[in-house]
Amino acid sequence: MTMYTVRGMTAQGQLHSRKFKAGSPVEAEFVRRWVESLRASTEPALREVAVLVRPHPARMDEWRQVDLSSFDHVSFYGSNPVDGESKDDYFESLYYSSAVVGLNTSAFLEGAVVGRPVHTVLLPEFHENQEGTFHFHHLMTVGDGFLTTARGLDEHVAQLAAMARGDTPARNASFVERFIRPRGRSVAATPVFVETVEALAAAPAPPRRATPIWTYLLRPVVYALVLAGRLPLLERIYWNPAKLRQLANA
């Protein structure tokens, strides 16, 4: 079995344009802790699992002081997938792995597309770059979510152990069909995108509309709700429809 830990925190968000704040935690140190937790597992498959680490090209400096050579079956490899050869290499890294593990990366989506279990660890030090972003919650909620999350390394390792034993059912299909391929897997996305852009360009410009006064009055309320949604206790409810349903049925 091969475990593949993808590029984690990026210098700039991969699913949106918001830059991660400067001074975000060093992902290289986290990866070392992660590998140590695998090797300390009571699950034999995780103690011996092969790990492929693909760091994000923008954060290579973080790895200069991190040495993974003391771990058996851990490879540090990969480049930015910007040409045909590197894209093929990136695809094969995903496709031939047993699971994808990361912090916040577009490879979560690509792992879902190729049908691999996708895992992450929600740690306080990475909160702003994970649950603190809007898009991250789609991964956990659309189609009941495909991203397997844990609140600590112990829980995360237990989830990986269950996956290694085959105890975890696949969760990707619903997300892929609803979020990535809403018109069906057999419909290529590029022609749909091009047709939509061309249709928008050919359509007449919509008439300008004055902003209703009541929207200005609502802005402070909306702003307060956004701030409230970032409080740790409320955030899990605010952004989690499944949690809302649990509270409604309680």
pLDDT tens sequence for the chain (250 residues): 555 554 433 222 222 223 334 446 778 888 999 999 999 999 998 998 999 998 877 778 888 888 888 999 898 887 888 888 989 988 998 998 889 999 888 889 999 999 999 999 998 888 888 888 888 888 988 888 899 999 999 999 999 999 988 888 878 999 999 888 888 888 988 999 999 999 999 999 889 888 888 988 999 988 888 787 667 666 655 555 555 555 556 5
- Joined together, the tokens standing for residue 38 give 């695998």
* pLDDT at 135 (0 to 100): 85
* pLDDT at 67 (0 to 100): 84
In a domain? residue 104: yes
Q: Are residues 6 and 69 in the same domain?
A: yes
Parent domain of 106: 2-178
Distant-in-sequence, close-in-space partners of 144: CB < 8 Å, separation ≥ 6: 171, 174, 175, 242
* pLDDT at 6 (0 to 100): 47
In a domain? residue 187: no
Please state, in angstroms and rounded to a whole number, the distance separating the CA atoms of residues 109 and 236: 22
CA 22 distance to own-chain centroid: 20
Q: Are residues 126 and 245 in the same domain?
A: no
Number of Cβ atoms within 10 Å of the Cβ of 208: 5
Please state, in angstroms and rounded to a whole number, the distance separating the CA atoms of residues 106 and 117: 14
Sequence-ordered alpha helix ranges (H) in 40-188: 44-48, 84-95, 107-113, 136-141, 153-164, 172-175
- Joined together, the tokens standing for residue 195 give 């047709």
Q: Are residues 49 and 139 in the same domain?
A: yes
* pLDDT at 245 (0 to 100): 54
Please state, in angstroms and rounded to a whole number, the distance separating the CA atoms of residues 189 and 114: 16
In a domain? residue 206: no
Q: What CATH number does residue 117 fall under?
A: 3.40.50
Q: Are residues 149 and 220 in the same domain?
A: no
In a domain? residue 7: yes
Query: C-alpha angle 44/72/106, rounded to 5°?
Result: 85
Q: Are residues 168 and 115 in the same domain?
A: yes
Among 135, 163, 178, the domain-final residue is: 178
Q: Are residues 168 and 218 in the same domain?
A: no
Please state, in angstroms and rounded to a whole number, the distance separating the CA atoms of residues 208 and 166: 56
* pLDDT at 55 (0 to 100): 84
Q: Are residues 10 and 131 in the same domain?
A: yes
In a domain? residue 196: no
Q: Please give the backbone phi and psi of residue 181, each rounded to the nearest 5 degrees, phi first.
A: -125, 65
Distant-in-sequence, close-in-space partners of 243: CB < 8 Å, separation ≥ 6: 236, 237
In a domain? residue 197: no
The number of domains in the chain is 2
